[in-house]
Structure 1
């Protein structure tokens, strides 16, 4: 039950933060730099699949170890690391394989992925721990 609570809390925090980032903070940043690569409409089914799977990763690799250790710092550290490696894999691969992929998008996206994953993992841990 603790892991289900961790998943729900982590997912909620991640979704809210990512929505604010994409819709209200950095949406124009991405549109201006990736206009030729972006689809006209978001495929919400595929986006939903990403969120479902990615949050499982956050819980397995960041929240669960923190629940075992009892330290929120583990959730923050492992969450940041998971976010860094996941977003770096995506962005650096795009930088290596896509024509005109902007370096600035790579840097900003990796920083964002590190931050949002670390915060989500920490919040997921704190909320789940409060139910133990």
Structure 2
């Protein structure tokens, strides 16, 4: 398997572990409390899986690969944080601007989570790429 695909696989695993833990355990009660009136009773898994696949590919291409090229874990962490903030802001701030009753508290928590999550996944994928994959 080519190195880029192995790095992508490592990033998918890291992203899923972290995000499933966040959504399923850490923030589940808060999301239900704050956004229960907005949440679907049935998750649209196709859309969720497609987001994960696209978003993690973008992390690998835009955050991990430039860091690997420069041999810099700090670059992976920094690019991941910037990309995570921008990507999650696209959803959260647009939701605040356009959706009635979208909770500001959730938007700000989600911005912080997206920043930390993407930074952590970028670091994990960088380490996998430079330690185990390459």
- Same fold judged by TM-score > 0.5? yes
What is the alpha-carbon distance in structure 2 between the residues aligned to residue 110 and residue 60 of structure 1? 21
Deviations 1:13-53, CA, capped at 9 Å, x for gaps = 01000000000100111111111111001111110001000
What is the count of residue pairs matched by the alignment? 132
Matched residue, 1:61: 62
Aligned CA RMSD, in angstroms, stands at: 0.7
Secondary structure (helix, strand or coil) at the match of 2:29 reads: helix
For the pair 1:2 / 2:3, whether they are aligned, the reply is: yes
What is the alpha-carbon distance in structure 2 between the residues aligned to residue 52 and residue 85 of structure 1? 18
| Equivalent residue runs for 1:100-119 within 5 Å | 100-119=101-120
For structure 1, list consecutive stretches of 5 or more residues without a partner in the other structure: none
TM-score (norm 2): 0.96
For the pair 1:18 / 2:8, whether they are aligned, the reply is: no
What is the alpha-carbon distance in structure 1 between the residues aligned to residue 25 and residue 42 of structure 2? 17
Deviations 1:95-124, CA, capped at 9 Å, x for gaps = 000001111111000000000110001000
Displacement of 1:76 in angstroms is 0.3
What is the alpha-carbon distance in structure 2 between the residues aligned to residue 45 and residue 102 of structure 1? 25
Matched residue, 2:45: 44
What is the alpha-carbon distance in structure 2 between the residues aligned to residue 26 and residue 84 of structure 1? 18
What is the alpha-carbon distance in structure 1 between the residues aligned to residue 65 and residue 80 of structure 2? 11
What is the alpha-carbon distance in structure 1 between the residues aligned to residue 78 and residue 7 of structure 2? 16
Consecutive aligned runs of 4 or more in structure 1 exceeding 6 Å deviation: none
What is the alpha-carbon distance in structure 2 between the residues aligned to residue 76 and residue 2 of structure 1? 20
